[in-house]
């Protein structure tokens, strides 16, 4: 089955700097890769996702890149702000069948003002 | 439109007690999921359902049972609670097509087993 690994587990950046979180996956048939943000004490919420027919997707200060050959994808946050502080989860999975998404273990991002 | 609602929000149990966590969604979603979240372990799938009347095991199903008698509800049961089941439990749902649809999460249930 799918295995998703996420690095780093913790990340501290200065406000205004960029943050990058990386994930690798094992199942070459996986074709859907969402990212979730979980603020302290809150529910995980989808912030961006990418499908295997594109290599990059942007939404304001957030971007996700996908390298299917290397089986890795990354979340990029530019011009970080204190409200970006949260735990971020990547996930991966297939479009076919009923196999659920597999989540990474999460990255705790701290943006220091 | 409330989305995904979990009850209760908090609960303390003694070892050996049983309880049921309720998840309800009003988005007409086919797929529903139960996860547990422990520090440093991310979200681990306990059980899931791909439609009314169906259930399937996830990554960590031992010690839990589930039922999906109605499309909008997904129940998670602990028959004999153990301290290792102390965790935050999240329910989620997705429309159709499994992994290609975003999952919508509830607010979580914080469960402590003494």
Tell me the backbone φ, ψ of residue A96, rounded to 5 degrees: -95, 155
Q: Average per-residue pLDDT in chain B?
A: 93
Q: Which of A44, A98, A106 sits opposite B98 (nearest CB)?
A: A98
Q: Is any Cβ of chain A less than 8 angstroms from the Cβ of B33?
A: yes
- CA separation (Å) from A31 to A34, A67, B101? 10, 11, 12
Q: Is the pLDDT of residue B70 over 80?
A: yes
3-class secondary-structure state, position B98? helix
- Per-residue confidence (pLDDT) for residue A97, from 0 to 100: 63
Residues of A in contact with B98 (CB under 8 A): 93-95, 97-100
Instruction: Output the tens digit of pLDDT for each of chain A's 113 residues.
Output: 889 999 999 999 999 999 999 999 999 989 889 999 999 999 999 999 998 777 999 999 999 999 999 999 999 999 999 999 999 999 998 866 677 889 999 999 999 99
Please state whether beta strands B42-49 and A45-51 pair in parallel, antiparallel, or not at all (unpaired): unpaired
Residues 6+ apart with CB under 8 A from A69: none
Q: Which residue of B has its CA nearest to A89?
A: B42
Q: Is the pLDDT of residue B100 over 70?
A: no
Q: Is the pLDDT of residue B98 over 60?
A: no
How large is the average pLDDT for residues B55-82? 96
Tell me the backbone φ, ψ of residue A43, rounded to 5 degrees: -80, 155
- Per-residue confidence (pLDDT) for residue A70, from 0 to 100: 94
Q: Are A22 and A7 in contact (CB under 8 A)?
A: yes
Q: Is any Cβ of chain A less than 8 angstroms from the Cβ of B63?
A: no
Q: Which of B41, B58, B99 sits opposite A93 (nearest CB)?
A: B99
Residues of A in contact with B90 (CB under 8 A): 43-44
How large is the average pLDDT for residues B82-92? 97
Q: Is the pLDDT of residue B85 over 60?
A: yes
- Per-residue confidence (pLDDT) for residue A77, from 0 to 100: 98
CA distance A113 to A86: 14
Interface residues on A facing B, Cβ-Cβ cutoff 8 A: 6, 9, 31-32, 34, 42-46, 49, 51, 89, 93-95, 97-106
CA distance B5 to B24: 5
pLDDT digits (tens, 9 = 90+) for B7-58: 999 999 999 999 999 999 999 999 999 999 998 788 999 999 999 999 999 9
| Banded pLDDT at B96 (limits 50, 70, 90) | confident
Beta bridge partners of B88: B37, B110
CA distance B88 to B97: 27
For an interface test with A, the pick among B99, B100, B105, B110 (most A C-beta atoms closer than 10 Å) comes out as: B99
Residues 6+ apart with CB under 8 A from B76: B20, B21, B23, B34, B46, B47, B64, B65, B66, B89, B91
- Per-residue confidence (pLDDT) for residue A99, from 0 to 100: 77
CA distance A109 to A22: 13
Q: Is any Cβ of chain A less than 8 angstroms from the Cβ of B48?
A: yes
Q: Is the pLDDT of residue B76 over 80?
A: yes
Residue numbers of B between 2 and 21 with CB closer than 8 Å to A = none
């Amino acid at each position: 089955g799918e295995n998703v690994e996420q690095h780093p587990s913790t990340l501290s950046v200065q406000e205004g700097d960029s943050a990058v979180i990386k994930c690798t996956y094992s199942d070459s048939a996986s074709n859907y890769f969402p990212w979730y943000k979980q603020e302290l004490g809150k529910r995980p919420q989808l912030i961006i996702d990418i499908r295997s027919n594109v290599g990059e997707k942007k939404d304001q200060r957030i971007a996700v890149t996908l390298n299917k050959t290397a089986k890795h994808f990354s979340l990029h946050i530019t011009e970080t702000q204190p409200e970006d502080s949260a735990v971020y989860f990547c996930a991966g999975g297939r479009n076919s069948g009923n196999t659920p998404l597999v989540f990474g273990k999460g990255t705790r991002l701290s943006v220091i003002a | 439109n409330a989305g995904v609602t979990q009850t209760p929000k908090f609960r303390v149990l003694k070892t050996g007690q049983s309880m049921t966590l309720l998840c309800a969604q009003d988005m007409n979603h086919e797929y529903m999921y139960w996860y547990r979240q422990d520090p440093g372990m991310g979200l681990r799938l306990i059980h899931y359902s791909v439609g009314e009347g169906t259930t399937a095991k996830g990554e960590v199903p031992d010690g839990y049972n589930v039922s999906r008698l109605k499309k909008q509800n997904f129940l998670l049961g602990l028959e004999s609670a153990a301290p290792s089941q102390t965790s935050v439990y999240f329910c989620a749902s997705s429309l159709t097509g499994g992994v290609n649809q975003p999952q919508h999460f509830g607010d979580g249930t914080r469960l402590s087993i003494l």
